[in-house]
Structure 1
Amino acid sequence: MRNVTDRTSNPFGLRAPFDRSDPGDRPAVFGYGDANADFHVIGDYPGVHGGETTGVPFTETEAGLAVQDVVRAVGFASGPRDEPVLENCFWSYVHPCSLPAGETPTDDDYDDLERFFDAELRAINAHILLPVGARPTDRVLREYTTQRRRYDDPLEMAALHASEIRGRGFLVVPIRDPREWGDGDREAIVARLEALLESDYRQTKGVATTVG
Structure 2
Amino acid sequence: MQNVTDRTSNPFGFRPPFDRTGSDERTAVFGYGDANADFHVIGDHPGVHGGRRTGVPFTETESGRAIQDVLREGGFSAGSMDEPSLENCFLSYVHMNCLPDGHEPTTDDYATLERFFDAELRAINAHILLAVGDRATDHVLREYTTQRGRLELDMAKLHARDIRGRGFLVVPIRDPREWTDGDRDAIGSALEAILGRDYRQTKGVATTVG
Q: Write the letter of the residue equivalent to 2:178.
A: E
Of the three residues 149, 174, 177, the one matched with 1:176 is: 174
Question: How much does 1:4 deviate?
Answer: 3.2
The CA distance in 2 between the partners of 1:166 and 1:156, in whole Å, is 17
Unmatched 5+ stretches in structure 1: none
Name the SS for the 1:136 alignment partner: helix
Equivalent position of 1:60 in the other structure = 60
Q: Deviations over 1:89-126 (max 9, x none)?
A: 00000000000000001111111110111011000000
Structure 1 segments, 4+ long, off by >2 Å, are 1-4, 21-25, 205-211
Cα distance change of structure 1 residues 61 and 207 upon mapping to structure 2, 3 Å threshold: closer
* Conserved? CA contact 1:22–1:101, under 8 Å: no
Equivalent position of 1:86 in the other structure = 86
Q: Give TM-score scaled by structure 1 length.
A: 0.94
The CA distance in 2 between the partners of 1:110 and 1:2, in whole Å, is 32
Name the SS for the 1:40 alignment partner: strand
Question: How much does 1:18 deviate?
Answer: 1.3
Equivalent position of 1:194 in the other structure = 192
Q: Write the letter of the residue equivalent to 1:100.
A: P
Name the SS for the 1:53 alignment partner: coil
Equivalent position of 1:164 in the other structure = 162
The sequence identity of aligned pairs, in percent, is 71
Q: Deviations over 1:49-76 (max 9, x none)?
A: 0001111000011111111111111000
Unmatched 5+ stretches in structure 2: none
* Conserved? CA contact 1:161–1:176, under 8 Å: yes
Provide the alpha-carbon RMSD of the alignment: 1.4
* Conserved? CA contact 1:95–1:117, under 8 Å: yes
* Conserved? CA contact 1:22–1:99, under 8 Å: no
Q: Deviations over 1:113-141 (max 9, x none)?
A: 10111011000000000000010000001
Q: How many residues align?
A: 208
